[in-house]
């Protein structure tokens, strides 16, 4: 009888461990497709891995990470950024960033309703204007010529995160 109880206990323990493992895998997949700050879908060409205040997250765009760091008054560290033309993850150390372009990084319907369910104009969007990363300075400059914006280095982007 004791042998049967221990077998049942082992089976239940394995099932519970399997459920926890499956939940962990599902949450990890979700974290890579949904922004850790604004919960928007992550555009694969603007994906960033960032650390704000010591917490590492997959983020929809560089501007969202900068906004989060500024709002929380915590340090920002960009771990990986996506090269916009190729869609490949690269180190932010050698990357160039384009801010204030006409391109929109994050999909959003920009609608907002007031208390009486009337449409209001959105006054602030944490991801707008988008910030795009480029591994090649010439590609970034060509993007600026076509879509507008300002070319910035990593130290300039990080300094913006510390502004109040």
- 121 SS3 class: strand
Does residue 5 belong to any structural domain of this protein? no
**According to the model, what pLDDT value does residue 161 have?**
80
Say if residue 31's pLDDT is above 50.
no
Domain that holds residue 53: 34-162
Phi, psi of 112 (to 5 degrees): -150, 140
Kindly indicate the confidence band of residue 164, based on its pLDDT and cuts at 50, 70 and 90: low
Does residue 60 belong to any structural domain of this protein? yes
Q: Distance from CA of residue 127 to its chain's centroid?
A: 10
Say if residue 163's pLDDT is above 70.
yes
Kindly indicate the confidence band of residue 15, based on its pLDDT and cuts at 50, 70 and 90: confident
**According to the model, what pLDDT value does residue 88 have?**
95
Q: Distance from CA of residue 101 to its chain's centroid?
A: 18
| Number of domains within the chain | 1
**What is the tens place of the pLDDT at every residue in 73-129?**
999 999 999 999 999 999 999 999 999 888 777 665 555 556 676 666 655 566 667
Does residue 4 belong to any structural domain of this protein? no
| Highest-scoring range by mean pLDDT, 16-20, 28-32, 110-114, 124-128 | 16-20
94: Cβ contacts below 8 Å, ≥ 6 apart:
135
Phi, psi of 21 (to 5 degrees): -65, -45
Distance, in Å, from the CA atom of 39 to the CA atom of 105, rounded to the nearest integer, reads 14
Distance, in Å, from the CA atom of 151 to the CA atom of 155, rounded to the nearest integer, reads 12
Does residue 120 belong to any structural domain of this protein? yes
DSSP 51-93: EETTEEEEES-HHHHHHHHHHHT--EEEEEEEBTTT--EE-GG
Distance, in Å, from the CA atom of 54 to the CA atom of 14, rounded to the nearest integer, reads 33
Does residue 26 belong to any structural domain of this protein? no
**What is the tens place of the pLDDT at every residue in 121-156?**
655 566 667 789 999 999 999 999 999 999 999 999
**According to the model, what pLDDT value does residue 119 have?**
64
């Amino acid at each position: 009888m004791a042998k049967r109880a221990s077998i049942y206990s082992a089976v239940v323990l394995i099932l519970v461990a399997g459920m926890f493992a499956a939940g962990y895998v599902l949450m990890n997949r979700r974290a890579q497709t949904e922004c850790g700050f604004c919960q928007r879908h992550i555009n694969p060409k603007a994906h960033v891995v960032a650390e704000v205040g010591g917490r590492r997250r997959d983020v929809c765009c560089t501007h969202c990470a900068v906004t989060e760091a500024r709002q929380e008054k915590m340090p920002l560290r960009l771990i990986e950024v996506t090269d916009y033309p190729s869609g490949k993850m690269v180190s932010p150390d050698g990357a160039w960033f384009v801010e204030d372009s006409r391109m929109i990084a994050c999909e959003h319907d920009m609608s907002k309703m007031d208390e009486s369910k009337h449409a209001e104009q959105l006054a602030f969007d944490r991801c707008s204007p988008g910030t795009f990363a480029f591994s090649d300075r010439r590609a970034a400059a060509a993007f600026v010529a076509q879509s507008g914006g300002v070319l910035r280095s990593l130290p300039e982007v990080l300094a913006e995160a510390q502004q109040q």
